[in-house]
Amino acid sequence: MVKAKVVSIKKLSVRPLMGYVLVLPSEAESRTASGIILPESAQEKPAQGKVIAVGDDMVMENGKVLMAPVKVGDRVVYKKWGGDEIKVEGVEYKLVKFDDLMAILE
């Protein structure tokens, strides 16, 4: 089971641009199902988290508008190698393209 980080959401100094969402990744499991404690270097980073901010809808080359597929507060799964890690005010986030989002967790 992946644990979610708890942070207070305040006005951030970063706003995703068109076609991107800002995701707060869930914390990696620090223990296996059988109870073995994993060192940080062995913990697999989860490819899911909570949407903190959403960029503007994206205008495609053909002129059609691709609306943001998620909203703030959604829990999402994104491609394992998708997104770029950024650190804002000491907290690590992922900037993920709309195309790299795979599912909304309910």
- The domain segmentation of the chain, as residue ranges, is 20-105
- Residues sharing a CB contact under 8 Å with residue 97, sequence separation 6 or more, in sequence order: 19, 20, 82, 83
Geometric angle at alpha carbon 61, from 14 and 52, rounded to 5°? 20
CATH architecture of 20-105: Roll (2.30)
Q: What is the pLDDT of residues 32-54, one digit of tens each?
A: 567 666 566 655 666 899 999 99
Q: How many Cβ atoms sit within 10 Å of the Cβ of residue 58?
A: 17
Q: What is the pLDDT of residues 61-101, one digit of tens each?
A: 999 988 999 999 999 999 988 889 999 889 999 999 999 99
